[in-house]
Amino acid sequence: MHTRRIGDVEVSAVGLGAMPMSIEGRPDTARSLATLHAALDAGVTLIDTADAYHMGADEVGHNETLVAKALASHDRGGDVLVATKGGHLRPGDGSWTLDGSPAHLRSACEASLRRLGVEAIGLYQFHRPDPRVPYAESVGALRELLDEGKIRMAGISNADPDQIRQADEILGGRLVSVQNQFSPVFRSSEPELRLCDELGVAFLPWGPFGGISRAGELATAHAPFGRIAQAHGVSAHQVCLAWMLAKSPVVVPIPGASRPESIRDSVRAADLVLTPEEIAELDAA
């Protein structure tokens, strides 16, 4: 497995987004654990989760608990950087709400620490800006958690360029990651990706295949991805991830998976080399 860096930590070039294993349509626990173990067997050392990845209001942190169980039951579990997030909530009616208050982020972090069973969270990210709370206050809470040693690294998610610069300043140059939506169908985060490249901050594209509902349509909805995949004898998903990896050395995709075969396919993208002409075609697709 090729590697990249998040802060001072070396991680697999392709990570795993664990959300599909805890939200609507999720598989049973056995298949989820098999998927997580397949990722570890394939060399994945970055797993993305969040306290809001659950369905019912009475199961907050379902995904974090699942990830912790998988890591504890695998001999490579100690090699993994777990990236979790706080600031998003799911009341249990299918909706997503926000709470970026420092008090909430602190309590959310404490709860995540307990569920993950660690003394410090490897990477803690502010999940999404809350318009009711000044951004500086939310990021300031991360700075305090960082200074107290409750988190080892701090990142932000769903941020624009101004917020990235502001967060890095508030954190004293210690911002290590930006997790934004980015895919063939959703490319409006290009400015954030370029800024991360300039700052040397890891850029973690979420929903790289266009979201759970669209993942299976990648090859048909974006013909060049399917055509180039056929030429290489690989899946369109591998081509998509290889295209992202070619954009900048700071890019670390976190494709979601809920089946062992899905993550096994995704990690092979790290070995796929696209030609400059193919990359240009995909950029224009």
Q: Per DSSP, what are the bridge partners of residue 12?
A: 3
Q: pTM of the predicted model, to two decimals?
A: 0.96
Written as tens digits, the pLDDT of the chain (285 aa) is 899 999 999 999 999 999 999 999 999 999 999 999 999 999 999 999 999 999 999 999 999 999 999 999 999 999 999 999 999 999 989 899 999 999 999 999 999 999 999 999 999 999 999 999 999 999 999 999 999 999 999 999 999 999 999 999 999 999 999 999 999 999 999 999 999 999 999 999 999 999 776 767 888 878 999 999 999 999 999 999 999 999 999 999 999 999 999 999 999 999 999 999 999 999 998
> For residue 38, what are the contacts with CB-CB under 8 A and spacing of at least 6?
260, 261, 263, 264
- Tell me the catalytic residues: 53
**Relative orientation angle of helices 236-247 and 260-267, to the nearest 10 degrees:** 40
